[in-house]
Amino acid sequence: MKNIFAFFFILISLHSTYSQVEQDKVLHFLGGNLYGLVGAGVASQISDGDRTWTFIGAIGGSLLIGLAKESIDQKQYGGWDNADLLATVLGGATVGVTIDIFKKRKQRKRDKLFKDAVGYSELEIKKTFLIENAEINSLSLLGMSKAVMEK
């Protein structure tokens, strides 16, 4: 019951805030979401999943499309709107934060599964050597006897 009440409260709140924001800003925000997602995907592939570069890719993708759109608006309509650019970049930042949150959750879950499967908390690595005072040369490291050297 609490969840249903919270859902309707959020829905009503979003409806009232949506009516206060211009339709153009909403479209810029959605465009920033889409191109931020593309930028995050490209940056994630290039950086092998590094969280920082994924977030920078999301911001960069949305900034790139925002600057392109505003330069087109400047040329066609004679007006540059910084609020539109801000809405576009905020859309990309939203995607970047969302991706980061879900990646962290997935990584924590994967680490927990690994620790449970291996029994990581009870795992102790003991380093024991059979011969304490033996001279170690390169052949003994490779597992060969000294008889190979004598021949």
| Model pLDDT for residues 1-34, shown as the tens digit of each residue | 666 666 666 766 666 555 566 788 899 999 999 9
Q: Please give the pLDDT value at position 100.
A: 85
Read off the pTM: 0.59
> How many Å apart are CA 113 and CA 77, to the nearest integer?
56
How many domains is the chain partitioned into structurally? 1
Q: CA 124, 140, 125: angle at the middle one, nearest 5?
A: 0
- The angle subtended at Cα 54 by Cα 48 and Cα 55, nearest 5°, is 160
Neighbours of 70 (CB within 10 A): 18
Structure confidence by residue, pLDDT tens digits, 76-119 = 888 888 989 999 999 999 999 998 888 877 777 777 777 777 76
Q: Is residue 133 part of a domain?
A: no
Q: Which domain holds residue 37?
A: 2-123
| Residue 145 included in any domain | no
Under 8 Å between Cβ of 64 and 92: no
